[in-house]
Structure 1
Amino acid sequence: MIAGPSGSGKSHFTESLAQAAIEKDLWVAWFTLETLAAAIGKSKVDGSTARTVARICRADLIVIDDISLLPVGEGAAEAFYRIIDAAYERRSIVVASNIHPSAQGSPRSCPRLPPGPAPTASWTTLTW
């Protein structure tokens, strides 16, 4: 999870991670939360959601960028949950958010993170 204000280098850092993975012949799936929600939403129309999630989760590295840049609807939250649930402990996942984890009670924050101490980094927090 990488969190910080706009312009702090979150996307640039995740692009570097993705490029390093590609150079090692690994497959990378890159989404913004908005494009992920669109992909999962589109798959619901023809009943291929499980196949779409499985295809995404075949990637060695899954990147979900730009969480909380826009208000999050139910479809985006569901898409995020489906990928995280399917990939958990099976794939590497990078999530980049404009909302600092300490602001998790904010109505714009999605998905909600478990309660815990606020990170100590001043602009970008990286947790492995």
Structure 2
Amino acid sequence: MRDLATLQFVEAHESLVLLGPPGVGKSHLAIGLGIEAISRGYRVLFLTVQDLVQELYSTLADGSTAQKLKAILSHDLIILDELGYLKMDATASDYLFQLVAKAYERRSLIVTSNLEFQEWGSLFDSPATAAAVLDRLLHHAHVITLKGESYRMRSRLAPPKANGTLPEGSAAPALRAGGRGEGGTPT
């Protein structure tokens, strides 16, 4: 994470893929890196994959898909959160492929997913589209797999101490190495 916090991957137009079950900190890390990138003058866009698909679907009515993709791709770092929670139809699969293909070697992507790569074939409309997305996304990528219990569930299931605070280890740790912690505060 210290190497990623230098943002060399953004300068080199590489991608970062964060994999793991819900609640292990994928989005937290992606947001922390995004905030650090903004503080260094990079243009950053954060979207859930569902929001991306909805925004691109809305362009069907007026034929402005190419312009919308161009606007998205004007950012140095594009963070796509929550890939894998909803199966994509042919149109959504095509949109995501177009974005990844156009960003390839030109822009940096951070993608978070709860699915292992071998499961992506069932997420996209066709396994061929999943393979094409993975081919481009992973060619120049850093892949980090996070494991563990959900921070959200851990803090909900842990009984509070007598003084009302949570037991040690039940709150999510802040992003270190020059990143940002909870609420965007420097750590």
Per the normalisation by structure 1, the TM-score is 0.81
Larger Rg: 2
Give aligned pairs, total. 118
8 Å contact kept, 1:32–1:65: yes
Give 1:100 shift.
1.6
8 Å contact kept, 2:73–2:103: yes
Q: Structure 1 residues 121 and 55 mapped into 2: Cα distance closer, same or farther (>3 Å)?
A: closer
Per the normalisation by structure 2, the TM-score is 0.57
CA distance in 1 between partners of 2:78 and 2:144 (Å): 26
CA RMSD of aligned residues (A): 2.1
Residue 2 in structure 1 maps to residue 26 in structure 2:
no
8 Å contact kept, 1:5–1:100: no
Matched to 2:45, the amino acid is A
Give 1:43 shift.
1.2
8 Å contact kept, 1:34–1:76: no
Q: Structure 1 residues 9 and 26 mapped into 2: Cα distance closer, same or farther (>3 Å)?
A: same
Taking CA–CA contacts closer than 8 Å with sequence separation of 6 or more, which of the two structures ends up with the larger relative contact order? 1
Out of 74, 91, 102, the residue aligned to residue 58 of structure 1 is 74
> Which ranges of structure 1 fall in alignment gaps of 5 or more residues?
none
8 Å contact kept, 2:19–2:115: yes
> Which ranges of structure 2 fall in alignment gaps of 5 or more residues?
1-16, 125-129, 136-142, 149-187
Q: How does 1:13-92 map to 2 (within 5 A)?
A: 13-92=29-108
